[in-house]
Structure formats: structure tokens, C-alpha cells
Structure 1
Amino acid sequence: MKNYIKSLILMTFVVFASCEDVIDVDLDNAEPRLVIEASLDWEKGTAGNEQTINLSMSTPYFNTGEDTSVSGAIVTVTNTNSGAIFTFNDQNDGSYTVDNFVPVIGDTYRLDVSYAGENYEATETLMSVTDINSITQSIEGGFDDELLEVNVYFDDPADEENFYLMRYYEAGDLFPYFEDISDEFVNGNEVHDFFEKEDDEDNNEAPFEPGDVVDIKLYGISEQYYNYMRLLIEQYYSGGNPFSSNSAQIRGNCINPTNPDQYAFGYFRATQVNVTSYTFQ
């Protein structure tokens, strides 16, 4: 009997010891690509003259501590309607800034980036955004009738196609929440959007409570950018769903006209945005 117990203990030790073996897996790493974060956002009520574009290089998934910021690039934005050229100044930390940008609703802008012997470009039209009518809170209008939600109301202009991006963020959350909106079924009517949070320890999120402040941004965006964000949002929020399709690489609008295979990641957008916040009562 003692020999049996000793054998059982030995086998248990071997099993648990074997679970601690480290397995090194060689993963295929793609060649680094330039990443362009170029969001020319004109906040309503401001001049919109100060803008920033960020450049970096892509890295393997597990390389999180490496500085990938890109300096030494030449970055310009051209208003193709007026011919005005805005040169962004290198801040030597991956950011490129300008303080004389002139936003014009309906005009088309072209981004040009020259770096490491490659040229990248993208075009986008600056879209307007409607005003927010009102912001309220409720409990019974969301998915869970025990959770507070914030409600945003705005009018959609009639007789034209409009696309919107909503951004909600509470300080301390790991990520903001994005939602893409088309006026396909609400054209010319008041649009109602709401946002509530569930308890999510993995993302350090908790349901809204009285006193919480949520930052809200409503963007007017192009149809092209709407389609891009729709795919990104769909892939992000379906992560972990066993019935969702496999994630795929989503191409932005930053192309390399002389070397198409050497395109850049990221997107160049030009938007007008309403910026506000709401404090729960």
C-alpha cells in the first residue's frame, strides 16, 4: 500500500512538473510597415488650425516595449481645391504638428508623406457634422434595465447621405467605445444613440454611477471612412466569439503610388466633430 501511495505521489509530481515546460514557438513576423495616424479633426467652435499627425513603424505582436516612433519624415497636407499647402513640423518624437491649418467643409485634402525613400499619399474630403440636440440619461432604454445609459440626440440633414462616428470614453477605462452610424434608415429624422457599460474586469470597466463623467464625440465622416471603421469595429467587438469570421488585415487609404506593395497602415481622415461631456445624476 505504501509503495502504491509513493507511486501515486510520484506520478502526480511528474504530471504537474510537465505542465510547467516552456514551449518556444517560432512565429512568422511580417516586415515592418509605416503606420500613419492622420486625423484632421476640426472641433466645432474652434479655428481648427492646430493639427497633429503621428508616424510609427509596425512591430510584432509581442514586442510591446520597443520605441517605434518615426522621425525625419516630410509630411504635408494640400487643399486640392485651393492649392494651399500645410507643412507639418517634425517634433522628433513621432509627432508632426502645424498651427496654420485652414479647415474648409467640402474641400478635399491630400496627405503626402516621404520617408526612407518611399512616398505615401491619401485623400479625404472634410465632412461637416450636425449639432447635438440634447443628452439625457435613463435606465430602461438600454440592453439591461438595471444599468444607467447615456442618450445622445441629433438631427440628420434631409436629402443627403450622411455618416457618423460616435466615441464614448470615461476616464480610467482601458479603451474608448466607438459606434458607426449611417442615415440609410433615418434620413432627415432625429437620430438617437445610447451607450451603457457592463462590469468588465478585464478592461477595467464598471457600470455608470451617479457622478461619473463620460466624454462624447460626434464626428461627421465620409462614406469611405465609415466603411473602414465599420470593419474595424465589427472585428474588434466580435473577438472571442466562436461563430465570428476570422480577423483579416484591413487596408486604410494610405497608398504608395510608386511601390503599391509597400503601402502604409493607418488612415487619413478629415472630419468636423462635436465635443462634449455628460455627468450622471
Structure 2
Amino acid sequence: MKRFLFLSLIFATLLIGCEDVIDVDLPEQDSRLVVDGLIRVDINETYIPIEIRLSLSSNFFEENVPTSAESVLISFEEIEDDIVISQGSSTLAETSPGSGIYIPDPDFSSDQRIPTSFLDRDYLYTLFIRHEGRLYLAQTKYVPTVPINSITQGTGTLFGDNETEVTVNFTDQPDVDNYYLFDFGFGEYLVTEDEFYKGQEFEFSFFYEDSFEPGTVLDISILGTDQTFYNYMDQLIEQSGDGQGPFQTPVTTVRGNVFDVTDLDNINVLDNVDQPEVFPLGYFAIVQEEKGQVTIN
């Protein structure tokens, strides 16, 4: 289920009357490690639902291939006046060989799960991945969000009668620069910042390309983001096109916050190895998720 884009309409117009099949030689791309590290937190749960998915990028129109790592670990520390006042770590294990899915190791000698109560502290979370002899690192802090006030079905359309409009209402948190990521399902995402509605109630419409059977329940989420993750998702949504999730094979190599630090010589500067073509794809973020639903009439 995809939204119409103006670019898609132009492209469709250009193709009218053209029936010849054209073979296009697409460029071969080097395989890169792809890190799906978007961790969505329900603060009412006891533990953070840590799940890191690793894959190798493929060529155009091909799915990423799951890959296994030598080790995956998340450390966290709280620093005040350049002094570490609290720290810990979580060792992750692959759910099954070759799956590329890593969760807190259930067979470790101690509980490797991270309680959601830790999110009340100003921890810096660092993801370490050892893969095929190379070391990758990403850092993030937890970002909260606001609840969705309401989701209702609208009657408007943009380009066709088969579209489905939903109207989302939420209230921005005052006195803070906020960035939000909306997940509408079906690989559909939207980002927004509060520059023009800071501290106010805000409402907007989103259009699905297709209509739905009456009684269909649509799940919609709002996720907190910082400015860096907001910018990353904004680029990825624009360049990946409709119908692709943020960690599927991208049409361009959008840089995330995961770095290849194998040859790092300065721990305070992550991207300093002077190898501009050596980098992974994907993102590591720990964010609060608030959910809402609407039932189609």
C-alpha cells in the first residue's frame, strides 16, 4: 500500500504509449554490512526489546542477505564532568545460525536484558559489531516521544478515488525542539519537526494509495527521533521511494550512524580513518514508540 508521489504521476505519464521492453545494465555495487538497529520501546514493558538485524546489501531489485557476526554487544554509560558514574553492557546472541538476528544472550551467565527503567538515566548506548574481521560501532541516546491524541478516517483524496485518508492528531511537547517519525505500515514512513507548531496541538492527513475493506484495522505509530536520525530518515524516505522500509536495499548509499572503526586511531573522532568508500549502511537508535489505530468504515 503506497502513497502517490507527484514524481510517480509524471513517470507514469511519460510511459503512456510505450510498450517496448528496454534492458538496462545496472551498475554492480560492493556488498556492505547493513545494520537494522531501530529499537522501539514501550515504556510500560519491563525490558527494552533489543533486536539487531544484520544483512549484506545486494544489487538493485534484490533482497538483502542475512549475515552472521563474530560478536555483537551493546554497552551503556553515564558520564558527568568527564567521569563515568554508571555503566553496563549487554552481550547479544544470534537467535538461530544464519538468521542475522541478535537479541540479549539468553544463555549468558547473567541476565543480559536492559530494563526500561534505565532509560530514565542519561545513558550513551554504544553498539559494537565484529563482522568478518572488521569492527563497527554506533552510538545513540534514548529519545522519547508524545502520544497520539486521535486517528480518524477522512474522505479526501489527492489523485484518485481509491485513496484512503487518515487524519492524525497529536500535541507537541513544549520548550524542546522535537522531531518525529511516523510509521503508517506497509513500508510507509513520514518525518516531521515542530518548527511551526512547537508546544501546540497539530493535525495532518496521510493518504494511502489504495482503499481498504470495511473493518480493516490500520496500526499507526509515532516515534521519537533526534535531529540526526530525522535527517537520515528524511533522506532515506526521499531516495528509497514508496514501498520500501528504511533498512531494505536502498537505491543509494545513505550514510547512517554506524561506522567502520577497524583502523580508527582516535576514539573521539569516529569517522577519521581516511577511507571514504569503506562504510556500512543502516542505523542504530533507541526510541519510544506510541501506537494508535483506526478502523476503516
Provide TM-score, normalisation by structure 1: 0.76
Aligned to 1:69: 66
The AA in structure 2 aligned to 1:39 is L
Structure showing greater radius of gyration is: 1
Cα gap change, 1:168 to 1:48, in 2 (>3 Å): farther
Aligned to 1:78: 75
Cα gap change, 1:280 to 1:39, in 2 (>3 Å): same
Greater Cα shift, 259-268 or 182-191: 259-268
Instruction: Verify the 8 A CA contact 1:129 1:219 in the aligned structure 2.
Output: yes
Instruction: Verify the 8 A CA contact 1:44 1:275 in the aligned structure 2.
Output: no
Aligned to 1:58: 57
Cα RMSD (Å): 2.7
Aligned to 1:7: none
Distance (whole Å) between structure 2 residues aligned to residue 238 and residue 85 of structure 1: 37
The AA in structure 1 aligned to 2:257 is N
Which of residues 99, 103, 107 is equivalent to 1:97?
Answer: 103
Cα gap change, 1:207 to 1:68, in 2 (>3 Å): same
Alignment of 1:50-199 (within 5 A): 50-61=49-60, 63-64=62-63, 68-81=65-78, 82-91=86-95, 92=97, 93-98=99-104, 100-103=113-116, 104-105=119-120, 106-140=122-156, 143=158, 147-169=163-185, 175-198=186-209
Alignment of 1:1-12 (within 5 A): none
Aligned to 1:31: 30
Percent identity over the alignment?
A: 29
Cα gap change, 1:193 to 1:78, in 2 (>3 Å): farther
Gaps spanning 5+ residues in structure 2: where?
1-19, 79-85, 105-111, 244-250, 264-272
Aligned to 2:6: none
Secondary structure at 2:223's aligned position in 1? strand
Aligned to 1:13: none
Cα gap change, 1:95 to 1:177, in 2 (>3 Å): same
Gaps spanning 5+ residues in structure 1: where?
1-18, 170-174, 199-205, 240-246
Distance (whole Å) between structure 1 residues aligned to residue 153 and residue 49 of structure 2: 33
Aligned to 1:43: 42
| Count of aligned residue pairs for this structure pair | 239
